[in-house]
Every structure is written in C-alpha cells, then in structure tokens.
Amino acid sequence: MGSDKIETVELGTGGPRVGVQGLGCMGMSFAYGPTDADEARATLERARELGVTLFDTADMYGRGENEKFIAPFVRAHRDEVVLATKFAISPDPDHPDDPFKRVIRNDRPYIRQAVEGSLTRLGVDEIDLYYMHRRDVNVPIEESVGAMAELVAEGKVKHLGLSEVTAAELRAAHAVHPIAALQSEWSLFSRDIEDGVVQAAAELGVGLVPYSPLGRGFLTGAFVSADKELAADDFRRTQPRFTGDNATANAALLAPVRTIAEAHGATPGQIALAWVQQQAAVHGAAVVPIPGTRKRGRVEENTSATRIRLSEQDLALLEPIAGQVAGARYADMTHTSQGRA
C-alpha cells in the first residue's frame, strides 16, 4: 500500500508538510444532499492510507456538524492529520432557517469566540491551520490577522490561512503575521486567482489550496444539470453555472477534457485534477488542491491523478475552457459584507 501514497510538500514557507493533495470534508455532512456516514468515515481512513494528511472543514459547514463529524477521525490520528478549519461565515440572524443566507464577521471578539467553538467541537487543543473563511471589508485585515496571531501566540493555532482575498489583502495580512496558505476556488472553470493573487502568493512563499478543483463535480461529468439531476437540498442547484442553459453550454466545454482523459487512460476528473496539480510547476508555488468526496473509490481516483503528467499539447487544449464558461460562480446573495460560501 505504501507505493500508492502520494508525495508530500511544504505548504508555504514555514508551513506544515502535507500530502500534495488534501481532502475537502464539507460534503460528508453538508451542502451536497444525502450522505452515507459510514462510507464517509471509511473515506477519511482510505485517504489517510493513501498519504492524504490535510483534512479541511469549517465551522459553518452544517453549523458545526462537519467539525463534529470528522473529530473522532482527527483525534484517532492526531499525529498524522494536518487539521484545517475556518471562521468568518455566520448564519444570517434575519434568515435563521436558511442555511445559505449568511453574514461575514472578522472582528476580534468573534474570532476568539469562533476558535473556542471549533476547538470544543473538534476535541483538540490546537488547530494546525486556521483560515479566515471570507473577508469582511468593514474590518481592516491587519486587525483581523492581528487577532489570529494572538491565537498562535497562545498555542491554540499553529499556522494561519486566508480564503478568497485579493493580492493586496494577502500582502497586508502577511506583513502582520506569516500566512501559510491561501484557499481559493481554482480549476479549469475558475481561474480568477491567476490575475495577481497566485503571483503574490508565490512571491511571499504562501501555499495555495484550491477548493472545488473539480468544478464542484461538474468537470467529472457526474452531472450535467443540477436543477434536473441533483437532490433538492444540494447547494449546486443555487449556482448559475450548473443550471439551465448555462449548464448545457458548459457541458459542451468538457470535450477536450474527455479526449485527453481517453489518451491517458484516465477519467475526466483525473485530468482536471492533474491540471490543478501541475500549476505548482507553472507558478512556482506549493499547490495542494482539496477535492471533496465522501466515497473511497473517488479518493483513490483523485489521489491517482497526482501521478498524471499532462503534455504541453494537453495544456494548450485545456487553456481556453475557463474563458468560455457561462454563468457566475455564485448567485447573488445578500451579505453584510463581501464574500461567498
């Protein structure tokens, strides 16, 4: 089994050493419809066996339930697991029963309240990587990162991370305290961060943690139309790219992905992941994507993608896709500040 293990990389200068692919745990108990808890737990174990060490959750996934779900696994393998969780997204008090209505908070009292909640739910004394999940433009980022740095000094957090910030915000934050990792959506369908953010991260020695590297499953071909094929409570039904005419148009963009997959004896999802993994060499930064799955077979498929090497011709065929994608990443949502789930 050892030969199946993925390689490791340092996640940012001075950051934790992790497998070159992590695991997004959100879908195990939140946002993607019904799940099999036993299979999800088995998936966590299989990921560990394959060399995955970075396990990603957040306090807002199921309002703390996702942290509780992975807690027994984390505690059972505490010396092997690099635990990442996040704060900042809170239920909207004006819509308490709608899980997709949220507000963003980055103020110091909230940060301290949030970290204590996560430590309690996870049953650990220290969080390995603590992210600001979204930026509240009403609070200076220097102030928020200063509060996060206090948690490091107190031994409650080892490393700091940010999610979905601009290049300027990353630089400002890093000047207050070293940032180990930046998490943003990055895939063949979403390449916004290549316009300055990736370059800033590489310059500062900040690791990149792409979430939704499989385009929320769309790049695998697992579904074509979210509103017709997915469960009523599946979050993807709210996203413009995966519904209506947009979904039909975007499905047509997968033709080169399928062609390259056939040539490599791989699946479309593996090609999409291989593309993200190879961005490390392209941009000179550590890149550790966190595809989410709750099935053992999928985590085996995903980790195998780390051994696929795409040719220059392959990369050229894939290059135009993002520029042709129809629909925004998120539907318009009401927030007290910027940010998306």
CA separation for the pair 275, 310 (Å, rounded): 7
Q: Report whether 192 contacts 211 (CB < 8 A).
A: no
Which one, of 194, 202, 125, lies nearest residue 157 by Cα? 125
End-to-end CA distance of the chain: 36
Q: Report whether 188 contacts 273 (CB < 8 A).
A: no
Query: CA dist 337 to 51, 102, 112, 125, Å?
Result: 38, 10, 20, 31
Distance of CA 288 to the CA centre of its chain: 9
Enter the tokens of residue 65: 């339930």
CA separation for the pair 292, 187 (Å, rounded): 13
- Given the residues 32, 61, 110, 131, select the one marked as catalytic: 61
- Annotation says 110 is catalytic: no
Could you give the 3-state DSSP secondary structure of residue 236? helix
CA separation for the pair 315, 323 (Å, rounded): 14
CA separation for the pair 174, 171 (Å, rounded): 5
Return the number of other C-beta atoms located less than 10 Å from residue 39's C-beta: 14
Query: CA dist 91 to 59, 62, 115, 148, 190, Å?
Result: 11, 10, 16, 21, 26
Could you give the 3-state DSSP secondary structure of residue 69? helix
Q: Report whether 281 contacts 20 (CB < 8 A).
A: no
Q: Which residues contact 229 (CB under 8 A, 6 or more apart)?
A: 223
Could you give the 3-state DSSP secondary structure of residue 329? coil
**Catalytic residue positions?**
61
